[in-house]
Amino acid sequence: MKSTVDKYGALIQNDKINPAVDVNPLGSGVIFDPADEQTPLQVIGLGIYKLNGEIYQNNTGAKEYAFVPMEGTFVVKTEEGEFHLEREGGPFNVAPGASNASALYVPKESSYTITGHGEIIYYTAPSSQKMKTVFISQGQVPNLSRGDLLWRRDVITMIEPGISTNLIVGETYSPPGLWSGTPLHVHDVGDVAAGESEHEEVYYHVSRMKGREMPNFTVQMLFDGKEINKAYLCQDKTAFAIPGVCHPVVASPVSDCIYGWALAGVEGHLGMRDVADFAHMKKIGEFASKLRSEEANQAALLLDRVKLSDFSAANGLDEFQTKIVELILREYGINFKSL
């Protein structure tokens, strides 16, 4: 969100504020509070309950909440009922291909009581009206494959406007060594014509492998080529605040990762504008599938270069971009004859 980047961009770039927080040593409580000047956010918040049978009571006040269990079993009671959330075996128990994520949306001006055993995170955002409490159970919403080739991942979206007024909540599963948040996109400026909205975001990184000789990691980037140009090693259970700009993630080559995510900002639906130099990536996967379908009997394809030239011309790619497309496809067994 542009106003948040304007406020915090230089502080992040100059290491005055660290958007990454190691949650491992923390107890229950707030991780990101947008009212705190050391948190590079203005709208969205993140917290965690680490429970071993304790009971916590709270009121949502002027904010809406979304609870997402990470591991364990929980009971949340509100004025609208009692809700049982669980995630036995942790977030990787059924991944890849399936998701055991669930969520509970609790509207503004609601009291709640939570108890249980394990870890459950919660997201908060200001809300303009009181909605209804909504429970999204495991398997209720689809877990969708997104992207292709080097940037394939699985995404589940559990809460969107209609359930909420502001919060958009889900999770992304990233296979070892692959990218997500790609093609690069931004959601900083409210521009209906460009399909871009104004939203901040938070991530909660977890890795299947914890590391033996040294901690395992994902790499979280935050950059716009101007004011912010940073990269962070995020070990298991790292929270990350995203004020705006580009924010791709790459999983470690020795572990897959899951990151829970939530967005909030100017109320309304999310609009992500693809960065121009990366937008054509969405077409590369389609191109690879088409080439394979045309030559289905060949394990490794060696194709006429005119096919690549035609693809580049159709998508307005220059010589450099065409070369990158060729290199990507080569790693997936699709090659083109020399001139």
Structural domain ending residue among the three candidates 247, 274, 301: 274
Domain boundary among 221, 244, 274: 274
Nearest residue to 30 via CA among 52, 45, 8, 50: 45
- Is the pLDDT confidence value at 51 over 90? yes
Q: What is the mean pLDDT of residues 121-125?
A: 98
pLDDT in tens, 70-102: 999 999 999 999 999 999 999 999 999 999 999
Residue 330 sits in the same domain as residue 195 = no
Looking up residue 242, the CATH number of its domain turns out to be 2.60.120.10
Burial 78-102 (b: 16+ CB within 10 A, else e): beeeebebbbeebbbeebeeebbbb
Query: Pick from 268, 244, 146, 260: which is nearest to 187 by CA?
Result: 244
Give the range among 26-35, 69-78, 92-101, 285-294 with minimum mean pLDDT: 285-294
Query: Hey, which of 2-11, 207-216, 273-282 has the most confident mean pLDDT?
Result: 2-11
Confidence of residue 333 (pLDDT cuts 50, 70, 90): confident
| Same domain membership, residue 296 and residue 270 | no
Q: Which two tokens stand for residue 3?
A: 């106003």
Tokens of 123: 């997201």
Cβ atoms of residues 264 and 221 within 8 Å? no
Taking a C-beta distance cutoff of 8 angstroms, is the pair 43, 264 a contact?
Answer: yes
Query: Does one domain contain both 158 and 287?
Result: no
Are residue 304 and residue 268 in the same domain, yes or no?
no
Query: Could you report the per-residue pLDDT of 166-206, keeping only the tens digit for each?
Result: 999 999 999 999 999 989 999 999 998 889 999 999 999 99
The answer to whether residues 160 and 73 belong to one domain is yes
Pair 163, 127 in one domain: yes
> By the 8 A CB rule, do 64 and 125 touch?
yes
Query: Are 161 and 303 within one domain?
Result: no
Neighbours of 173 (CB within 10 A): 26
- As a whole number of angstroms, the distance between CA 107 and CA 317 comes to 47
pLDDT in tens, 222-247: 999 898 999 999 999 999 999 999 99
Q: Are residues 32 and 86 in the same domain?
A: yes
Residue 328: pLDDT above 90? no
Query: What percentage of the chain carries pLDDT values higher than 70?
Result: 98
Average pLDDT of the chain to the nearest whole number = 94
Could you tell me if 225 and 251 lie in one domain?
yes
* Domain end residue (candidates: 230, 248, 274): 274
Reported confidence tier of residue 302, pLDDT bands at 50, 70, 90: confident
Q: What is the pTM of this model?
A: 0.92
pLDDT of residue 300: 63
Answer yes or no: are the C-beta atoms of 1 and 125 closer than 8 Å. Answer: no
296 has pLDDT over 70: no
Considering the domain architecture, whether residues 32 and 125 belong to the same structural domain is answered as yes
Q: What percent of the chain has pLDDT over 90?
A: 79
- What is the domain extent for residue 84? 2-274
The pLDDT value recorded for residue 212 is 78
Instruction: For Cα atoms 32, 33, 34, give the angle at the middle one, nearest 5 degrees.
Output: 115
Integer Rg of the chain from CA: 21
> What does each C-alpha distance from 149 to 45, 184, 305 come to in angstroms?
33, 15, 20
Indicate the number of domains in the chain: 2
Residues 322 and 299 in one domain: yes
Q: What's the longest Cα–Cα distance across the chain?
A: 71
* Pair (100, 132) in one structural domain: yes
Mean pLDDT, to the nearest integer, of 55-71?
98
Q: What is the mean pLDDT of residues 255-273?
A: 94
